[in-house]
Amino acid sequence: MRKEEACDISLGEWVSNPDGPYYTNASCSTIQEHQNCMKFGRPDTGFLKWRWKPQGCDLPIFDPLQFLEIMSGKKMAFVGDSVSRNHMQSLICLLSTVEEAVDVSEIPYWSQFKRYEFRKYKLSIAIFWSPYLVRTSQEDPADKNSESRPFNLFLDEPDPKWTQEIPGFDYLIISAGHWFFRPTMFYIQGRLAGCLYCPQSNITHLTSYFSYRRAFRTAFRAIIQQANFTGITFLRSFAPSHFENGYWDKGGDCVRQRPYRAEETRLEGYNMEHYRIQLEELKIAQRMGRGRGLKFRMMDVTRAMLMRPDGHPSKYGHWPKPNVTLISDCVHWCLPGPVDSWNDFLIELLRREEELGRVQSI
């Protein structure tokens, strides 16, 4: 076993990296406006000069050429919400330093589903929008006030928009998180089982933990039961937000300009509970998947990202508007920015899978 394989890359510190970043907002065309922090005048650049250093080993900086060679002829899909899309966009930006991605999406502008090809390497990368992972509906979704309307979550029914698409993919990167804090109605076997942040007094009021656990359990079982999927699933762990001095809609912001040290913060509260739920449901999926020869792996970025309050767009995801108060974004990540490190994690996990496959074939 290699030293790196014995090393838990989820534990460590952020250390100085004067060579970063490895692309710019001018060199990558897949950066969405609300993550283009330098375009909108972010004055500090120190948040671009850090890399993740695990305890007891090193985590190499992402090598785009090596990634393309490892993934040559393969298909990778991201499943989740806009933070999942944020990760995929980071990967596209890094790979585009070697080969420009070709957008082969049915809709050319940014939509909920995107596909890219790196044709020299016959690599396909897709994103499937499914912020709850399970089937959802919403009353009057076209209404201008739809943001405040609750979603109906059918917690025992996987979302067919992604489960029907995954056959043929070699790797899935599945994640979900911040949408589970929105007003929601919970259904199990077609019957209303409870709600989160609903005004009705005659409905059982439950927490986000209830829906989070059941959504991941349903998603993992849908993968296991998909007869035509034989790939590897990576669960990308929960990435905490960093609102300070108020909730997201009450003036909260994230203005810090450097990472925390490990001793300056700790995983607790709802961040810890959601992370724990992911670990528990992943272990269940791993046991169930063995019978079909399916692999479920953890891409554990939670502690690393807990320490990066400096990496969010804050108010630099848009131009200021006179006499208009705009909400600061402390959920998504600037591009380039700390989210690029997720691809350091990803390529290391892919290297380990390659080496494990070679050992098993001997």
The full set of domain ranges for the chain reads 3-361
Active site residue 105: no
Q: Which of 159, 328, 332, 340 is catalytic?
A: 332
- Cβ atoms of residues 92 and 125 within 8 Å: yes
Give, for all 362 residues of the chain, the pLDDT tens digit.
Answer: 444 456 899 999 999 999 999 999 999 989 999 999 999 999 999 999 999 999 999 999 999 999 999 999 999 999 999 999 999 999 999 999 999 999 999 876 666 799 999 999 999 999 999 999 999 998 765 554 545 678 999 999 999 999 999 999 999 999 999 999 999 999 999 999 999 999 999 999 999 999 999 999 999 999 999 989 999 999 999 999 999 998 877 779 999 999 999 999 999 999 999 999 999 999 999 999 999 999 999 999 999 999 999 999 999 998 877 766 788 999 999 999 999 999 999 999 999 998 877 767 66
Active site residue 205: no
Q: Which of 81, 159, 329, 344 is catalytic?
A: 329
| DSSP letter string, 106-149 | SSSSS-SEEEEEETTTTEEEEEEE-TTSEEEEESSTTSTTGGGS
- Please, how many CA atoms are within 13 Å of residue 163, restricted to the half-sphere of its CB? 18
Q: Which of 81, 82, 84, 175 is catalytic?
A: 82
Whole-angstrom distance, CA of residue 11 vs CA of residue 51: 13
Is 3-361 assigned to CATH 1.10.1200.10?
no
Active site residue 332: yes
| Residue 134 three-state SS | strand
